[in-house]
Amino acid sequence: MNYPELFTPTKIGKVVLKNKLSMAPMGPVGYADAFGAFNQRLQDYYVERAKGGIGLIITGICSVDIDIEGLSKPGLPCPTQTPLAFIHAAYQMNERIHAYGTKIFVQLTGGLGRSALPGFVSKCIAPSDNGNRFDPKVIHREMTKEEIENLIRKFAMAAAISKKAGFDGIEVHAVHEGYLLDQFAIPIFNKRTDEYGGSLENRLRIATDIVKGIKAACGKDFPVSLRYSLKSCMKGLRQGGLPGEEYEEAGRDIEEGIEAAKILVEAGYDALNVDAGTYDSWYWNHPPMYFEEGMYREFGKILKEHISVPIILAGRMENPELAVEALKTSCDMIGLGRQLLTDPYYPEKIRTGRLDEVRPCLGCHEGCLGRIGNAPVSCAVNPSCGREKIYGLVPAHKIKKFLIIGGGPSGMEAARVLAERGHKVVLCEKNGELGGNLIPGSVPHFKRYDRALINWYQRQLELLNVDVNLKCEITADKISSYQADEVIVATGSTPIELSFGGTGKAILANEVLQGKEKQGKDIAIIGGGLVGCETGLWLAQQGANLTIIEATPEILGGPHGLPHMNRFMLEDLLAFHKVKILKTTKVVSIDEGSVTYENDNGTESIPVDMVISAVGYKENNGLYESLKNSDMIVHNIGDSQKVHNIMYSIWNAYELAREL
């Protein structure tokens, strides 16, 4: 056994867990059936993680009463909506989970309050009158005392139903992340003057009354965990504080967080599932790739000095050596969230010494939280996540030989899937390494998980005996020599090059990232999309003086261009590193030592010693266009079909290769 410290049994209350690894709660929005029960896809999703060796599963949020905020149906699972249907579905799921020696807690939520995405609820409530986190014009009214008392009763009722459904415990959601119960706990959101406002004890009363009600309904030995943020990490409303940034805490500071934890544990909570942040500092609760690993360890370490119940700690803890170290100083169990979306078998792989086979989480949020509102939670690099039984791989009925042209993400994914299904696969890449546009994209330290994904694909192709040929450029006249039954073109995309006029030139971002051009000190980047902004951040972190020039009114594609937490953090990091951003600005010319631009303020030139172009990519589809009308069976996937993000490069390749 590898890393035995992670695989020794532990306890929460009187419930014995087979190891110290838990699945962190992630919202199952869209996975409820019409009765508010766990649908079959959600059951299979959790069972798959139990098969992978996790010791404890904590489900994503289940509403204690969908009518409190007027949640749409079907949306979140809800024990009180149709109790018998909830019991029947969950009991069967829990029987299957228990067969693997895994325990499961259901996470119960009282609601979102001001943190609800506009349109997600029809009744806008909060502890006091508050503007919505995302749209301040939407006002959430103050809850009545009767509504609060009803909410507390519904927690106890939902817990009793969940116990009957075979769950091993409850997690209360949450004095955490700025959700409804957390809004009660934080003075900036709670201006009440009754017994639910004012003093810390009063602001925590709803959370303490809930655990007392659950214990009364389910018994004192039925364990109840609490999702808990020690610190809010807020500079103000809708303003997060970055790691290492000095600011005055506008929410719950560490001192009050310690006192609150003591009160909550005294009230009856058997464990604290610890992190930091609120929706106003959303990137703390859902860490993008810009964080270092283990960002909650300092908070767990502080709490361990003051409370005696077990602490569960997540926050990019998938490095097993880091996890082992954290168990010594900061926590009693390790929480794993998105890593179990990408790879349900992570626990078994590290236990059996197969670290090089662990598919990495990129921290992109594209497949998980970025899809909420349009589709259920899944994963950008694991297309079968959340649809394990209906979208898994099946052996090919007829074995064929495939030639794949291009070794970027879509080409590698197609090769992996086809080979896993039993086909014979030859992959040809014209460059000296696999990865395509991931190669320059993975250069910044904060994109290290992209490099890890390339390494994972290389290992998978080795294990599956895919015939990989590097420095092998395929032209139309060479294809017949491979005697393939079908051809897949995955030739990717190339940077768009624009002419800006003047005597100077713009260097492509990928050339700078790969070190093909000497970096400057005063730099202008043309294009404020993801490539331009991340290249700018990388250079600014090295001390460059950066100006980003964007032709549209918004960088990063605006509010819907990236998942919120990634966009918020990247924008804050650019500001922290003093990157100047010019929006609605057009480059007029580039000359030796300067760039000239125009906007509503007129025309201006600034001195630069480097100009970088990051205005997007175009399909590299020439080979496919030359082949599509031939007698061969030819497919076009990835960026060579349509330039998109990495998720769709992988997902579209998976879809094609799964069906061939």
Tell me the pLDDT tens digit for each residue of 534-551.
999 999 999 999 999 999
Residue range 54-63: mean pLDDT, rounded: 97
Q: pLDDT band at 613, cuts 50/70/90?
A: very high
Q: 45: helix, coil or strand?
A: helix
Residue range 410-423: mean pLDDT, rounded: 98
- In 330-447, which residue ranges form alpha helices assigned H by DSSP? 338-342, 346-351, 409-420, 438-441
Span 422-474, pLDDT tens digits: 999 999 999 999 999 999 999 999 999 999 999 999 999 999 999 999 999 99
Q: pLDDT band at 73, cuts 50/70/90?
A: confident
**Geometric angle at alpha carbon 68, from 63 and 72, rounded to 5°:** 65
What would the DSSP string read from start to end of 63-112? ES-TTTTTB-SSSS--TTTSHHHHHHHHHHHHHHHHTTT-EEEEEEE---
Whether 431 contacts 411, CB under 8 Å: no
pTM reported for the whole predicted model: 0.94
**Nearest CA-CA partner of 453 in 480, 434, 430, 479:** 434
Q: How far is the C-alpha of 35 from the C-alpha of 31, rounded, in Å?
A: 11
Whether the per-residue pLDDT at 362 is higher than 80: the answer is yes
Residue range 206-227: mean pLDDT, rounded: 98
Q: pLDDT band at 520, cuts 50/70/90?
A: confident
Encoded tokens for 467: 């015939």
The domains found in the chain, sorted by start residue, are 4-357 (3.20.20.70), 401-494+633-659 (3.40.50.720), 507-615 (3.50.50.60)
Q: pLDDT band at 517, cuts 50/70/90?
A: confident
Q: In what order do the strands lie in the sheet with 467-470?
A: 467-470, 424-429, 401-405, 486-489, 634-636
Whether 137 contacts 130, CB under 8 Å: no
Q: How far is the C-alpha of 387 from the C-alpha of 30, rounded, in Å?
A: 12
pLDDT of the residue at 370 = 87
Whether the per-residue pLDDT at 85 is higher than 80: the answer is yes
Tell me the one-letter amino acid at 29: V
Whether the per-residue pLDDT at 373 is higher than 80: the answer is no
Whether the per-residue pLDDT at 126 is higher than 80: the answer is yes
Q: Strand 602-607 and strand 594-599: pairing?
A: antiparallel
**Nearest CA-CA partner of 457 in 392, 396, 510, 382:** 382
Tell me the one-letter amino acid at 36: G
Residue range 368-382: mean pLDDT, rounded: 90
Whether the per-residue pLDDT at 174 is higher than 90: the answer is no
Q: How far is the C-alpha of 172 from the C-alpha of 270, rounded, in Å?
A: 11
Which stretch of 307-311, 487-491, 517-521, 533-537 has the lowest confidence by average pLDDT?
517-521
Residue range 489-502: mean pLDDT, rounded: 93
Q: pLDDT band at 344, cuts 50/70/90?
A: very high
**Nearest CA-CA partner of 214 in 155, 266, 150:** 155
Q: How far is the C-alpha of 581 from the C-alpha of 522, rounded, in Å?
A: 14
When the pLDDT of each residue in the chain is averaged and rounded to a whole number, the result is: 95
Q: How far is the C-alpha of 416 from the C-alpha of 378, rounded, in Å?
A: 19
The answer to whether the bond into 174 is cis (omega within 30° of 0) is: yes
Residue range 71-77: mean pLDDT, rounded: 87
What would the DSSP string read from start to end of 464-478? TT-EEEES----GGG
Residue range 239-253: mean pLDDT, rounded: 95
**Annotated catalytic residue 46:** no
Q: How far is the C-alpha of 656 from the C-alpha of 660, rounded, in Å?
A: 6
pLDDT of the residue at 516 = 87
Q: pLDDT band at 119, cuts 50/70/90?
A: confident
Residue range 487-511: mean pLDDT, rounded: 93
Q: What percent of the chain has pLDDT over 90?
A: 93
pLDDT of the residue at 449 = 97
pLDDT of the residue at 75 = 83
Residue range 244-273: mean pLDDT, rounded: 97
Whether the per-residue pLDDT at 621 is higher than 80: the answer is yes
Whether 283 contacts 569, CB under 8 Å: yes
pLDDT of the residue at 536 = 96
Residue found by looking up tokens 């994972």 in the block:
456
pLDDT of the residue at 231 = 97
Cα dihedral across residues 257, 263, 267, 268: positive or negative: positive
pLDDT of the residue at 493 = 96
Q: pLDDT band at 38, cuts 50/70/90?
A: very high
The alpha carbons of the chain give a radius of gyration, in whole angstroms, of 26
Whether the per-residue pLDDT at 312 is higher than 90: the answer is yes
Identified catalytic residue from 3, 31, 179, 457: 179
pLDDT of the residue at 8 = 97
Beta strands in 143-231 (DSSP E): 169-175, 224-229
